[in-house]
Amino acid sequence: MVKISIIILVKNGEAYLEEVLKGVFSQNVEEKVEVVAIDSGSTDRSKVILAKFPVRVTEIPSTLFNHGETRNLGASLSRGRYLVYLTQDAIPGDDRWLKKLVEPLEEDPQVAGAYSSHRPRKDCPLMEKRQILQTELTSGKKKRVNVAVGNPAYERSPYPFIWFSNTSSCIRKEVWEKIPFRRLEFAEDQDWAKRVLEAGYKTVYVPDSIVIHSHHYRPIKNFRRHFEHARAMREIFGREEFPQFKAIFSATRQSVKADFQFFRSETGNPWGFYRWFFPSLFWYVSAFAGLWSGTHLEKIPR
């Protein structure tokens, strides 16, 4: 009987997909595992790569893809008690990734979901590398159990508790059957985490379950990514990510300075930062402008 279903959403993922699948099929687990892939219109070698592995593939038109609903489809096609979501570019860090990710759900029936710790790729740009490694929510060394009901800290500031990442996550199927993902274009994972926490369940950050995952966004795509994030945070959670336009400049200055300090501590060579100065500057201007625009959508001329 299948106990764990690994669900991978695929579209033109040839760059990392084979390495992801090799990592998946090298996991050190005793339980029976199945891998389910949903391809939404790949035109590269993704389907050829999937055919090399014992994966059940379902194809859908790209027009039907939705971050929430397509994950629901993957869950409905799966036979396992535990639903493990893994993106097509998140590479398991070692052969314990899966075992450690499932453990919190095995140990406590009140745990609805768990998610992995992130590490940047070797070629990750300095800006994102620092963001990943210096953010406790994504790469902290301590296990974190999130509870909402009866938690005054959640009432004061819910965001750190609802953080959840379907880049690499494990969800209890019986909880998903009661509380599925909603149809959302962004942040379906955090929306789900908020609802399960407020229903009385727990979520867990697992520092020992590691995936290699980072991006290399150019300024325009970086703007769009942060725009969508801020819009989702406002629409779903009522959270204003970047309330003041003038803060773009001070936040950029502080972030470039932080990149410099990080580079110096990593390399011991402060002068080498010159090659990162302008990429860092443009990265943060585009990021913070995107956050402000997504927060103040009604102020943008149409």
What does the pLDDT read at residue 63? 96
Asked if residue 184 lies in contact with residue 68, where contact means CB atoms within 8 angstroms, the answer is yes
Q: Cα(267)–Cα(135) distance, rounded to whole angstroms?
A: 20
Give the span between the Cα atoms of 141 and 120, in whole angstroms. Answer: 15
Check: CB of residue 26 under 8 Å from CB of residue 95. Answer: yes
Domains for the chain: give ranges and CATH numbers.
4-212 (3.90.550.10), 219-299 (no CATH)
Q: Which pairing describes strands 91-92 and 202-212: parallel, antiparallel, or unpaired?
A: antiparallel
If you average pLDDT over every residue of the chain, what do you get? 95
Residue 62 three-state SS:
helix
pLDDT value of position 301: 55
Burial bucket for residue 301 (CB in 10 Å: 0-12, 13-18, 19+):
exposed
Query: Which SS3 state, helix, strand or coil, does residue 221 take?
Result: helix
Contact status, residue 71 vs residue 86, Cβ threshold 8 Å: no
Are 8 and 91 within 8 A, CB to CB? no
φ and ψ at residue 110, rounded to 5 degrees: -85, -5
Q: Which residue type occupies 80?
A: G
* Alpha-helical runs (H) found in 36-187: 46-51, 67-76, 97-107, 126-133, 136-139, 152-156, 159-162, 173-178
Confidence (pLDDT) at 300: 60
pLDDT confidence bin for 233, thresholds 50/70/90? confident
pTM of the model as a whole: 0.93
Burial 252-286 (b: 16+ CB within 10 A, else e): beebbebbbebbeeeeeeeeebeebeebbbebbbb
Query: What share of the chain in percent tops pLDDT 70?
Result: 98
State pLDDT tens for residues 60-73: 999 999 999 999 99
Q: Mean pLDDT throughout 117-143?
A: 96
Band of the pLDDT at 302, cuts 50, 70, 90? low
DSSP tag of 59:
E
Q: How confident is the model at residue 137 (pLDDT cuts 50, 70, 90)?
A: very high
Contacts of 163 (CB under 8 A, 6+ apart): 137, 190, 193, 205
Instruction: Give the mean model confidence (pLDDT) for residues 217-233.
Output: 91
148-173 pLDDT, tens digit per residue, is: 999 999 999 998 999 999 999 999 99
Confidence of residue 298 (pLDDT cuts 50, 70, 90): low
- Each residue's pLDDT tens digit, 13-46: 999 999 999 999 999 999 999 999 999 999 999 9
pLDDT surpassing 80 at residue 297: no
Give the model confidence (pLDDT) of 84-112 as tens digits: 999 999 999 999 999 999 999 999 999 99
Residue 291 pLDDT greater than 60, yes or no: yes
Rounded CA gap, 253 and 251, in Å? 5
pLDDT of residue 243: 67
Amino acid identity, residue 103? E
* Distant-in-sequence, close-in-space partners of 123: CB < 8 Å, separation ≥ 6: 216
The structure tokens 């998946």 sit at 24
- The reported pLDDT for the residue numbered 299 is 60
Cβ atoms within 10 Å of 158's Cβ, excluding its own: 19
Backbone angles phi, psi at 208, to 5 degrees: -90, -5
What is the reported pLDDT for 235? Answer: 82
